[in-house]
Amino acid sequence: EPEVTQTPSHQVTQMGQEVILRCVPISNHLYFYWYRQILGQKVEFLVSFYNNEISEKSEIFDDQFSVERPDGSNFTLKIRSTKLEDSAMYFCATALAPGNEQFFGPGTRLTVL
Protein backbone atom coordinates (compact mmCIF):
# COMPACT_ATOMS: atom_id res chain seq x y z
CA GLU A 1 0.00 0.00 0.00
CA PRO A 2 1.43 3.40 -0.94
CA GLU A 3 2.36 5.65 1.93
CA VAL A 4 3.65 9.08 2.74
CA THR A 5 7.20 9.12 4.09
CA GLN A 6 8.96 11.81 6.07
CA THR A 7 12.58 12.50 6.95
CA PRO A 8 14.17 12.86 9.37
CA SER A 9 12.16 11.06 12.01
CA HIS A 10 13.73 13.24 14.71
CA GLN A 11 15.53 16.57 14.35
CA VAL A 12 17.27 18.33 17.20
CA THR A 13 18.38 21.91 16.58
CA GLN A 14 19.53 25.00 18.40
CA MET A 15 17.24 28.00 18.68
CA GLY A 16 17.75 30.35 15.75
CA GLN A 17 18.90 27.64 13.35
CA GLU A 18 17.17 26.76 10.10
CA VAL A 19 15.56 23.36 9.64
CA ILE A 20 14.13 21.65 6.59
CA LEU A 21 11.63 18.85 7.00
CA ARG A 22 11.06 16.56 4.04
CA CYS A 23 8.08 14.62 2.81
CA VAL A 24 7.66 12.23 -0.08
CA PRO A 25 4.00 12.20 -1.11
CA ILE A 26 2.08 9.28 -2.54
CA SER A 27 3.02 9.32 -6.21
CA ASN A 28 -0.26 10.37 -7.84
CA HIS A 29 -1.31 12.83 -5.16
CA LEU A 30 -1.39 16.50 -6.08
CA TYR A 31 -2.45 18.20 -2.86
CA PHE A 32 -0.03 18.54 0.00
CA TYR A 33 -0.39 19.69 3.58
CA TRP A 34 1.67 20.33 6.67
CA TYR A 35 0.29 20.00 10.18
CA ARG A 36 1.93 20.19 13.56
CA GLN A 37 1.13 18.69 16.92
CA ILE A 38 2.64 20.07 20.10
CA LEU A 39 3.07 17.31 22.68
CA GLY A 40 -0.26 16.39 24.24
CA GLN A 41 -2.26 18.77 22.10
CA LYS A 42 -4.40 18.49 19.02
CA VAL A 43 -3.18 18.45 15.45
CA GLU A 44 -3.06 21.95 13.93
CA PHE A 45 -3.15 22.90 10.27
CA LEU A 46 -0.21 24.88 8.94
CA VAL A 47 -0.46 25.10 5.16
CA SER A 48 -1.89 23.52 2.03
CA PHE A 49 -0.09 23.46 -1.30
CA TYR A 50 -1.19 22.72 -4.84
CA ASN A 51 0.30 23.38 -8.25
CA ASN A 52 3.38 24.98 -6.70
CA GLU A 53 1.36 27.50 -4.78
CA ILE A 54 0.09 27.87 -1.24
CA SER A 55 -3.69 27.34 -1.24
CA GLU A 56 -4.33 28.20 2.36
CA LYS A 57 -2.31 28.85 5.49
CA SER A 58 -3.01 29.30 9.16
CA GLU A 59 -1.92 32.02 11.55
CA ILE A 60 0.87 29.73 12.74
CA PHE A 61 2.42 29.77 9.29
CA ASP A 62 4.16 33.13 9.54
CA ASP A 63 7.05 34.42 7.45
CA GLN A 64 9.48 32.16 9.28
CA PHE A 65 7.88 29.22 7.48
CA SER A 66 8.05 28.32 3.81
CA VAL A 67 7.15 25.34 1.67
CA GLU A 68 8.27 24.15 -1.71
CA ARG A 69 8.40 21.18 -3.99
CA PRO A 70 11.91 21.59 -5.33
CA ASP A 71 12.24 18.53 -7.52
CA GLY A 72 8.74 17.35 -8.27
CA SER A 73 8.87 14.63 -5.65
CA ASN A 74 9.90 15.96 -2.25
CA PHE A 75 7.67 18.44 -0.46
CA THR A 76 9.55 20.45 2.13
CA LEU A 77 8.78 22.65 5.11
CA LYS A 78 11.48 25.15 6.08
CA ILE A 79 11.62 27.03 9.34
CA ARG A 80 14.13 29.85 8.92
CA SER A 81 14.96 30.67 12.52
CA THR A 82 13.60 28.13 14.95
CA LYS A 83 12.11 29.10 18.28
CA LEU A 84 11.63 26.99 21.38
CA GLU A 85 7.88 26.93 20.75
CA ASP A 86 8.43 25.33 17.33
CA SER A 87 9.17 22.06 19.13
CA ALA A 88 6.45 19.68 17.97
CA MET A 89 5.64 16.75 15.71
CA TYR A 90 5.29 17.89 12.12
CA PHE A 91 3.07 15.81 9.87
CA CYS A 92 2.90 15.89 6.12
CA ALA A 93 -0.34 14.79 4.47
CA THR A 94 -1.26 14.30 0.83
CA ALA A 95 -4.47 13.81 -1.10
CA LEU A 96 -5.66 13.13 -4.63
CA ALA A 97 -7.99 16.12 -4.52
CA PRO A 98 -9.37 18.60 -1.98
CA GLY A 99 -12.15 17.03 0.04
CA ASN A 100 -10.63 13.56 -0.42
CA GLU A 101 -9.01 11.51 2.30
CA GLN A 102 -5.73 12.95 3.46
CA PHE A 103 -3.01 10.39 4.05
CA PHE A 104 -0.60 11.30 6.83
CA GLY A 105 3.08 10.52 7.11
CA PRO A 106 4.67 9.22 10.32
CA GLY A 107 5.85 12.68 11.31
CA THR A 108 9.10 14.41 12.19
CA ARG A 109 9.73 15.21 15.82
CA LEU A 110 11.41 18.61 16.00
CA THR A 111 13.16 19.53 19.23
CA VAL A 112 14.46 23.08 19.55
CA LEU A 113 16.97 23.62 22.36
Partner 1 sequence: GESVGLHLPTLSVQEGDNSIINCAYSNSASDYFIWYKQESGKGPQFIIDIRSNMDKRQGQRVTVLLNKTVKHLSLQIAATQPGDSAVYFCAENNNAGNMLTFGGGTRLMVKP
- Residue 104 sits in the site that holds partner 1 (CB under 8 A): yes
* Cβ contact 47:34 at 8 Å: yes
**Could you say which of 20, 24, 30, 43 contacts partner 1 (CB under 8 A)?**
43
Report the residue from 21, 77, 103, 112 that binds partner 1 according to the rule CB under 8 A. Answer: 103
Please give the Cα distance from 31 to 102 (Å, whole number): 9
- Of residues 17 and 100, the one with the C-beta less far from partner 1: 100
Q: Which of 55, 73, 81, 111 binds partner 1 (CB under 8 A)?
A: 55
Stretch that binds partner 1, among 13-21, 69-77, 80-88, 92-100 (CB under 8 A): 92-100
Closest alpha carbon to 50 in 86, 11, 102: 102
* Cα separation values, 44 from 14, 30, 59, Å: 23, 21, 10
CA dihedral over 24, 26, 32, 35, signed as positive or negative: negative
Q: Where on the chain is the footprint of partner 1 (CB under 8 A)?
A: 4, 31, 33, 35, 41-45, 48, 55-56, 58, 91, 93, 95, 97-107
